[in-house]
Amino acid sequence: MFGKKDKAPEASAATTAGAGSTGLSGDTKIKDWLAHPQGGPILRKMLAEAGQDASQLKPVQGFAMKRLIPMSKGQFSEEKIAELVAMAEAYDPATAGEEPAAAAPAAEEQPEDEAFDLPEFEEKVTDGRFVGKTLIITGAGSGIGRATASRVAREGGRVIAVDLNEAGLDEFIAEHPGLDIVKVVANITKQEDVDAVVAAAGDVIDGLANIAGIMDNMTPLHEVTDEMWDKVIAVNTTGLFKLSRAVIPFMLERHAGSIVNITSEAGLRGSAAGLAYTASKHAVVGITKSSAFMYGPQGIRVNAVAPGPVITGIGASFDSPMAAKRIQTAMAVLPTPVGPESLAASISFLLSDDGHNLNGVILPSDGGWSAV
Ligand SMILES: NC(=O)c1ccc[n+]([C@@H]2O[C@H](COP(=O)([O-])OP(=O)(O)OC[C@H]3O[C@@H](n4cnc5c(N)ncnc54)[C@H](O)[C@@H]3O)[C@@H](O)[C@H]2O)c1
């Protein structure tokens, strides 16, 4: 939904330097850039040149500017930030012929939560929580899956990192030298790939996090193509089902195991996505509840997490004007998006023994969106 990898890139010279006379840098929050008398006009000009305006930055206004880099999928870079910093330094509203008032944000751009400058979430790793355990984590090449795989590996677990995207997996493994991570490039919709994942794990599988997933194109039922329906159901529902079916016999043998499925706000209501994605994620809720009921007495817990907006690599297009209008009405109360490490905290809690008394829970990890 919001393009971003699992964590903000390390601060570099280009993002942290340049805080000269303006005090602006890659570490400056976007809302502070917009409110700045020199930075504001420069940033708005850049947005206008790309056919955008500042209202499009509203969901990420509380983030440091450098967090836009991984979100932009290559359209924004450290060099671009350095250029913006330099342009802001050189910008003089008087000589540029700008009315000073033009530097102030327009009323509709005023951040709503300006009075509440909340800190970003900081992970606190629980040492050794997954020591001696093997966990399969799908979607480990990007976003929520990658952040969860990272958290579990840093807490001592042996991670079977599964994804279609080999480059993403390689990058993830390179970021975690010395940790116990097994790379499996696999398409969870294919039975032979599912078998390869289970073979890589070995005979003892303590946990499974079904995180890999794709969005739809936000279309209502009468506009959904066969292709979109098949694609979304295949990954989000059938892939999750196939891998769980392959793993559960190992857990039944030991009367132990924890499965966490990723549904969505779209698994709880009808107003968060298109028909195909909504159906696929409601099915995940059904799979979770049925399995929790069936296997609970045998020591296997099956829970789900329903994320709200998270900054990841997932992409969605609004291909239906009718649905876009309806969905955007519901999005008026969208909470501020979080980084994927916030979801990793919820998912790893349910995966771990800390969640031992929870089974069949559909846990919204959404900043309260589902309470609306
Ligand atoms: N980002 C959000 O705002 C958000 C909100 C609600 C739910 N979710 C759910 O969270 C999960 C993770 O999404 P994300 O936002 O991290 O997205 P992402 O695109 O960053 O990561 C998803 C990963 O799944 C992998 N994948 C896709 N199809 C696959 C397949 N057939 N086999 C193996 N791997 C496959 C992709 O290659 C990718 O690396 C998804 O199930 C998504 O529906 C995300």
Quick: pLDDT tens for 244-254.
999 999 999 99
Q: What is the mean pLDDT of residues 35-55?
A: 88
Q: Is the CB of 213 under 6 A from ligand 1?
A: yes
Which atom of ligand 1 approaches the CA of 188 most closely? 32
Give the strands of the sheet with 300-307, arranged side by side. Answer: 181-185, 158-163, 134-138, 207-210, 257-262, 300-307, 362-365
If pLDDT is split at 50, 70 and 90, which confidence band does 64 have? confident
259 CA → ligand 1 middle, Å: 17
Ligand 1 site, residue 8, Cβ cutoff 6 A: no
Average pLDDT, stretch 78-89? 92
Which one of 66, 183, 242, 277 is the catalytic residue? Answer: 277
Find out whether the beta carbon of 144 lies less than 6 Å from any atom of ligand 1: yes
Residue 214 Cβ < 6 Å to ligand 1: yes
pLDDT for 107 beyond 50? no
Q: What is the CB neighbour count within 10 angstroms for residue 322?
A: 11
Q: Is 314 in the pocket of ligand 1 (CB under 6 A)?
A: yes
User: 277 an active-site residue?
Assistant: yes
Q: Is the whole-model pTM more than 0.75?
A: yes
Please say if the pLDDT value at position 17 is more than 50.
Answer: no
Q: How many CA atoms lie within 13 A of 289 on its CB side?
A: 9
What is the 212 CA–ligand 1 centroid distance (Å)? 4
Q: Which two tokens stand for residue 200?
A: 């890589």
Backbone angle region of 224, left / alpha / beta, with phi > 0 → left and psi within -120 to 50 → alpha: beta
Structure token digits, residue 124: 């606190």
Task: Report all structural domains of the chain as residue ranges with CATH numbers, in order of start.
Answer: 4-111 (no CATH), 134-371 (3.40.50.720)
Q: Is the CB of 370 under 6 A from ligand 1?
A: no
**Predicted local distance difference test score (pLDDT) of residue 308:** 95
Tokens in use for 327?
């969905």
Give 43-101 as a DSSP string: HHHHHHHTT--GGGGGGGTTSBGGGHHHHTTTSS-HHHHHHHHHHHHH--TTTTT--GG
Tell me, using a 6 A CB cutoff, whether residue 3 lines ligand 1.
no
Could you tell me the distance, in angstroms and rounded to a whole number, from the CA of residue 146 to the centre of ligand 1?
10
- Reading the block at residue 204, the tokens are 């003892």
C-beta 344 within 6 A of ligand 1: no
141 lines ligand 1 (CB under 6 A): yes
Q: How far is the CA of 215 from the centre of ligand 1 (A)?
A: 8
Residue 136's φ and ψ, nearest 5 degrees, are -90, 130
Q: What is the pLDDT of residue 115?
A: 53
Helix (H) or strand (E) holding 259: strand 257-262
Q: Whole-number mean pLDDT of the chain?
A: 88
273 Cα to the center of ligand 1, angstroms: 14
User: Cα–Cα distance between 39 and 24 in angstroms, integer?
Assistant: 7
Mutate to test the pocket of ligand 1, among 312, 331, 365 (most ligand atoms within 8 A of CB): 312
Q: How far is the CA of 194 from the centre of ligand 1 (A)?
A: 17
Closest ligand 1 atom to residue 314 Cα is 19
- Of 52 and 133, the one with more pLDDT: 133
- CA Rg value for the chain: 22
Our answer to whether residue 281 is catalytic in this structure is: yes
Pick the atom of ligand 1 nearest to 307's CA. 6
CA–centroid distance, residue 211 to ligand 1 (Å): 6
Mean pLDDT, residues 198-227: 98
pLDDT at 49: 86
If you average pLDDT over residues 206-221, what whole number do you get? 98
